Structure 1
Amino acid sequence: MSKKWLVRYSEIFLKSDPVRRQWERVLMNNIRQVMPDLKIQSERGRIWLNGDVRPDLLKNIFGIVSFSEVEHVPHEESLEDSLIEYCRSHGIEQAKTFALRIKRVGRHGFSSNDKAIELGDVVRKAFPHLKVNLAAPDKEIHVEIRQDECYLYDTVIKGVGGLPLGVEGTLVALVSGGIDSPVAAWMMMKRGCRIVPIFVALDTFLDETVLARAKRVVEVLRKYQPDIQLRVIHDPYLAAAKKELIRNRQEKYTCLFCKRRMYRIAEKVAQEVGAKGIVNGESLGQVASQTLDNLVVLSDAATIPVYRPLIGFDKADAIVLAREIGTYDESTSRATGCKAVPKGPSTKAHLTEILEMERNMEATKMPLPVG
């Protein structure tokens, strides 16, 4: 017997053969990016790894549902003898109950159930103290028979799932460093989107603690997208716009003007990098700028799609996922808030009014900054 690793995927399997093969290649390249010395092979529904596999890296690669270290039994070897050797070396003698899980691929003169009964009798003969318990066994042994080859394993490690990173293209992510925006970016990563995160530094209103937090959060996301780089864009627009809003007694619209500007900056970056849209952490009704009325005003500022994967989440939902993916601790680390937020922000702005205000503001004529 020899050891190798079995990698499983799910949604890729459902695609047409040309798409499946293409996405398999993307997934294998993503594996090579973090473990370049592995030998990788594929067949329909499975990817095989030989070499120094690191499970801690493998479990964060999008597209992988689960994986196992397996013992390969070539067709010329006895499956029964190999199974007994495997059971003995993997602690079955300490168990009281066991179950065999059989999976077959290819044409055989037996059913999976037939083979389970046959091999189960072999195991019980070798270890007479064992009893079969299919519902909740102390020890579970998997036997995968693929044509004339067999594979034995006793552990299934859960992967992150989703689609291989990059198969759906690229999105620009507005990242603040708080709880929601990195979770939203991660959700789109899981659906196959490579992320270009940007942080719009609002001169005079955000200090270095906020930027430092955003950088730390993006570093957490690096374990899911190794080449991720935060782009920091400094923009003096809001300082000029806020002065005009205060002078015109329209300060309640500050956040809307700010976020419309961010949308435009994100769209410019998207044009530069060939991204197909913008993703952010907006959730319906969570703050004043995220009411249905105000989201209409914000969406108007972009001519490319704006994706809001958290739109139906409440804060507790986002926190659960932030903890799961590892961004929560950094997102809740100490940082000052935005000093531009007005005391009474507008919750029901009208697009026609906002557009008229922008036409009359000198600040609106300021060029978009270069990232």
Structure 2
Amino acid sequence: MNDSLDASAAGSAPTLPGEPVVLLKLGEVFLKGANRERLTRTLVDNLIAMLRDVAPARVRLRHGVVVVRANDRSEETVAALADRCADVLGISRLHRARRIAPSMEALDAAAVAMLARRTGTFAVRARRRDRSFPLTSEQLNRHVGSTIGTTLGRTVRLREPDTTLHIEVDAGAVFVYCDGVSDGDSSRGRGGLPVGMSGRALVLLSGGIDSPVAAYRMMRRGMRVDFLHFSGVPLTGPESVFKAYALCSALERFERRPQLYVSSFGKAQQQIRVSSDERNAMIVQRRLMLRVGEVLARRHHYDALVTGDALGQVASQTLTNIASQDAAVSLPVLRPLLAMDKTEIIEQAREIGTFDISQLPGDDCCSLLAPRRAETHAKEDEIARIERRLDAVELAETVADAVRPYRATRERRPSRTESTLNLPAPTAASINAPTPSARTSS
């Protein structure tokens, strides 16, 4: 019996052997058949980019499992890496594991050391991905279970044990971790698809509760999103822009360095007020916002627009009015919250960390045209007549020309090249400054 087993038998919890690592399971990504290689490559690239802000690390894909190793091999660094991995979309499960040598002596020592830190019944679940390893999965279960029972005096319980010891055998390494009833080395990831797999979209970000949740749900389906915010400047202050910037920074947990475009929309709203009757003003405004979004999308190569509309939530979100808004543009308008109620949306906003930001004070530009009684069934001929007076197509181009870009960033250590590429955060002076008219494409 080696020293580790002797220490455990004597009643003291031994130091865990091996290297601390993070194992990531891919979930839905692993079910994608012919597209699996492209999906996993995108996921690994996203992980490398996200973890670069935390600590130097190595990311490797092994037999459908991603292994993250800290360069300094410290427990603290691995914990920080695991915390960051928890927000990378496309991952279904995370395991804080030990990487040990592929030998029975090392495996016995690691298994006993892990179980010595826990109490109650146990079970062993082994998976042998490397077929050259001398023991099969079932033989590993029996051998390691017997060693733990003999050394620690623990009882095996195959159904609903207090602790489950997992063993994953790969070529050149074995990974070991525990799941417990009250604690464990595993946690649930966010699932979904890796950001960037499903195209690019421009999210109309209001600063309220709904649109950040809509953005997150599209990210989770593999879309890379950037944001367009309409402020009421110069009719309102710049507070809503600061909220939008804060929301983008909060959502950077899930997508690295999203772009924020800001439109000072107040003068366009004045033109709408003059050209439209009160009941239809909100629909005309929302159609104009979509038109501006489409102009930017064409210039910057986005595949779709995204809004936080939920069916029937407000007057502009009746089925008739949604159809009227969609008719203003040719790009797809995605509405991931369409069938959700407000309670569900608020719950998800809290979970992703945007709810408190959305509750901060700030004038919403939509409130400037809020009617006492809004039209719930917009009529096509009335809207067309108003938009002819407004010259909506030309106005959308003019508004898009004046849009300002900002790059949302979290507090982190930028790379040498990134520090020169970051666009500044919005300031009151930059928001209110005039913008030269110049229609350019990128």
Q: State the TM-score, normalized to the length of structure 1.
A: 0.90
Matching residue of 1:354: 383
Q: Distance in 2 between matches of 1:31 and 1:74?
A: 25
Distance 1:152-1:362 versus aligned 2 partners, 3 A rule:
closer
Q: Distance in 1 between matches of 2:337 and 2:138?
A: 44
| TM-aligned CA deviation for residue 147 of structure 1 | 5.5
Where 1:121 maps in the other structure, the secondary structure is helix
Q: 1:27 corresponds to which letter in structure 2?
A: L
Say whether 1:60 aligns with 2:87.
yes
Matching residue of 1:180: 210
Q: Distance in 2 between matches of 1:197 and 1:258?
A: 18
Q: Is the 8 A contact 1:241 1:364 kept in 2?
A: no
Q: Distance in 1 between matches of 2:350 and 2:136?
A: 43
Matching residue of 2:150: 125
Say whether 1:8 aligns with 2:16.
no
Match of 1:219 among 246, 249, 257: 249
| TM-aligned CA deviation for residue 63 of structure 1 | 1.1
Where 2:398 maps in the other structure, the secondary structure is coil
Where 1:342 maps in the other structure, the secondary structure is coil
Say whether 1:256 aligns with 2:283.
yes
Where 2:254 maps in the other structure, the secondary structure is coil
Q: Distance in 2 between matches of 1:206 and 1:184?
A: 25
Q: Deviations over 1:189-218 (max 9, x none)?
A: 111111110101234554322222222211
Match of 1:297 among 290, 311, 324: 324
Say whether 1:167 aligns with 2:197.
yes
Where 2:175 maps in the other structure, the secondary structure is strand
Q: 1:355 corresponds to which letter in structure 2?
A: A
Matching residue of 2:416: none
Distance 1:355-1:316 versus aligned 2 partners, 3 A rule:
same
Where 1:230 maps in the other structure, the secondary structure is strand
Q: Deviations over 1:303-333 (max 9, x none)?
A: 1100000000110010111111111111112
Say whether 1:243 aligns with 2:274.
yes
Say whether 1:233 aligns with 2:263.
yes
| TM-aligned CA deviation for residue 103 of structure 1 | 2.6
Q: Is the 8 A contact 2:239 2:363 kept in 1?
A: yes
Report which stretch shifted further, 339-348 or 110-119.
110-119
Q: Is the 8 A contact 2:231 2:238 kept in 1?
A: no
Distance 1:257-1:204 versus aligned 2 partners, 3 A rule:
farther
Match of 1:87 among 115, 119, 126: 115
Matching residue of 2:59: 40
Q: Distance in 2 between matches of 1:173 and 1:293?
A: 22
Q: Deviations over 1:230-265 (max 9, x none)?
A: 2111232121111222xxxx2111110110011011
**Number of aligned positions between the proteins:** 361
Report which stretch shifted further, 360-369 or 347-356.
360-369
Q: Is the 8 A contact 2:288 2:392 kept in 1?
A: no
Q: 1:132 corresponds to which letter in structure 2?
A: V
Where 1:47 maps in the other structure, the secondary structure is strand
Gaps of at least 5 residues in structure 2 are: 1-17, 71-76, 179-184, 404-442
Where 2:368 maps in the other structure, the secondary structure is coil
| TM-aligned CA deviation for residue 111 of structure 1 | 5.7
Where do 1:20-39 residues align within 5 Å? 20-36=36-52, 37-39=56-58
Q: Distance in 2 between matches of 1:292 and 1:363?
A: 22
| TM-aligned CA deviation for residue 348 of structure 1 | 0.7
Q: Distance in 1 between matches of 2:172 and 2:239?
A: 60
Q: 2:386 corresponds to which letter in structure 1?
A: M
Q: Distance in 1 between matches of 2:328 and 2:41?
A: 37
| TM-aligned CA deviation for residue 295 of structure 1 | 0.6
Where do 1:64-75 residues align within 5 Å? 64-75=91-102
Matching residue of 2:373: 344
Match of 2:141 among 116, 122, 125: 116
Report which stretch shifted further, 178-187 or 205-214.
205-214
Q: 2:24 corresponds to which letter in structure 1?
A: V
Where 2:259 maps in the other structure, the secondary structure is coil
Distance 1:14-1:102 versus aligned 2 partners, 3 A rule:
same
Q: Distance in 2 between matches of 1:238 and 1:80?
A: 72
